[in-house]
Amino acid sequence: MDRSLEAQSKNDISNHLEEIEVKLLLQGLYDWCGYDFRNYAYQSIRRRIWHRVYAERLSTITGLLDKVLHDPSCLQRLIADFSINVTEMFRDPLFFLEFREKVVPLLRTYPSIRIWHAGCSTGEEVYSMAMLLHEEDLYEKTKIYATDINTTALKDAKSGIFPLENMKKYTSNYLRAGGKRAFSDYYCVTNKGVQFYPFLTKNVIFAQHNLVTDRSFNEFHVILCRNVLIYFNKTLQNKVHSLFYESLGMFGILGLGDKESIYYTNHFDSYNVISGKQKLYRKVK
């Protein structure tokens, strides 16, 4: 056999065996503790699995499965690896500017407002929305439900403490997002970092929720799920979009990340576009 063909054959076998190991690990997680990562984008979940394999000083994915099933602390470390915690305050500032200019006037017509931040991570965008609504005199009649699969991230979000070195970037984002005050009005500096004032979370409920396995828990006027769906495959994206559709009231607003869209989903014809560039949609049927 030609050496190049032989090498290719060995590589194909190795890749196939790796896929089997990945499937066994993800199925084991689901059967053992109910965490369902089986429909996450393969390459993304594969990278995170190998990161944990090496971090645990193991050599195989099968070895990781064995440890996960018998070591609860390893299980929690793996779940944390699977959680996507890349975020910042007023991330994509033009999204928040567009929300302020085009969605806020719609929200003014409601006697009360319910917002769901799905996949809120460590809470930076939740605090951003609270500031925006405070400046638009809407916060007092708003309840924000901030959910994530990662309980450690939720604990950090509740604390309201963030690194001081991030404030320069966050201040710039805030101003570009149409902020109306000094960003420093919202926090004080402590020996632990920057502490945001408690009034920003007095109308926020932080709770664990798994987009893959959990159901709708309320009817909302706004659902924000930004830069989460890009880590799901098409099957799971459609499942989550159905969850959002069921959870939005008529004329409710759906906000997605800049690389996400309702197009090519089962519900694309159920929305009107408020801002195609900033991924804001309104449910119309």
Answer whether 201's CB lies under 8 Å from 187's CB. no
Residue 190's domain spans which residues?
A: 93-283
Residue 66 lies in a domain: yes
Spatial strand order in the sheet of 161-162: 161-162, 193-196, 187-190
Q: What is the DSSP letter of 110?
A: S
**Quick one: 52 and 185 in the same domain?**
no
How many other CB atoms are there within 10 angstroms of residue 79's CB atom?
A: 19
In terms of average pLDDT, the best of 8-22, 62-76, 79-93 is 62-76
235 or 133, higher pLDDT: 133
Cβ 205 vs Cβ 146: under 8 Å: yes
Q: Are residues 239 and 199 in the same domain?
A: yes
Q: Is the dihedral of CA 190, 83, 232, 221 positive or negative?
A: negative
Question: What confidence category does residue 250 fall into, taking pLDDT thresholds of 50, 70 and 90?
Answer: very high
What DSSP string runs through 193-250?
EEEE-GGGGTTEEEEE--TTT----S-EEEEEE-SSGGGB-HHHHHHHHHHHHHHEEE
Q: Is residue 87 situated within a structural domain? A: no
Beta strands 280-283 and 271-275, pairing class: antiparallel
Q: What is the end-to-end Cα distance of the chain in Å, rounded? A: 61
In terms of domains, do 14 and 78 share one?
yes
Does 70 share its domain with 171?
no
Claim to verify: residue 111 and residue 238 sit in the same structural domain: yes
pLDDT of residue 84: 67
* Element spanning 265, H or E: none
In this prediction, residue 10 carries a pLDDT of 72
pLDDT value at position 7? 61
Per-residue pLDDT averaged across 37-51, rounded? 89
**Structural domains counted in the chain:** 2
* 119, 226: one domain: yes
| Confidence bin at 5 (pLDDT 50/70/90) | low
137 and 233 belong to one structural domain: yes
Nearest to 229 by CA among 30, 81, 41, 27: 41
| pLDDT for the residue numbered 4 | 67
User: pTM to 2 decimals?
Assistant: 0.81
Domain with residue 255: its CATH number is 3.40.50.150
119 band by pLDDT with thresholds 50, 70 and 90: very high
Q: Do 67 and 103 belong together in one domain?
A: no
Domain match, 73 and 198 both: no
Please give the pLDDT value at position 3. 66
Long-range Cβ contact pairs of 239-243 (< 8 A, separation 24 or more): 239/39, 239/212, 240/211, 240/212, 241/265, 241/266, 241/267, 242/266, 242/267, 243/211, 243/215, 243/216
Q: List beta partners, residue 273.
A: 281
Residue 154 lies in a domain: yes
